Amino acid sequence: MAMNKNTVLGWATLIMIIMGLLLIGLGVFRYNEIAGWGFGAVGVGFLANAWVFSSLKGRV
């Protein structure tokens, strides 16, 4: 299977969306103290980065 730039960006976007949702879920359901806010913020950052990757997919 040939992996060109768009395929790599697509897989990276999918992995980052999964990790972002996982981190937000950890922050919401697992940690009730201040660490939950950190996990949530990092999860939102992962989702923002995945959004950038998906917007770059056709342009690279």
Relative orientation angle of helices 5-25 and 35-56, to the nearest 10 degrees: 160
Pair of tokens at residue 49: 């980065």
Quick: pLDDT tens for 24-58: 999 988 888 888 899 899 999 999 998 988 888 77
Q: How far apart are CA 26 and CA 13, in angstroms?
A: 20
Least reliable range by pLDDT among 1-5, 15-19, 32-36 = 1-5
Q: What residues contact 5, with CB distance under 8 A and at least 6 apart?
A: 60
pLDDT above 90 covers a percentage of the chain that reads 38
- The phi, psi pair for 33, rounded to 5°, reads -90, -160
pLDDT band at 60 (very low <50, low <70, confident <90, very high): low
- Is-above-0.75 flag for pTM? yes
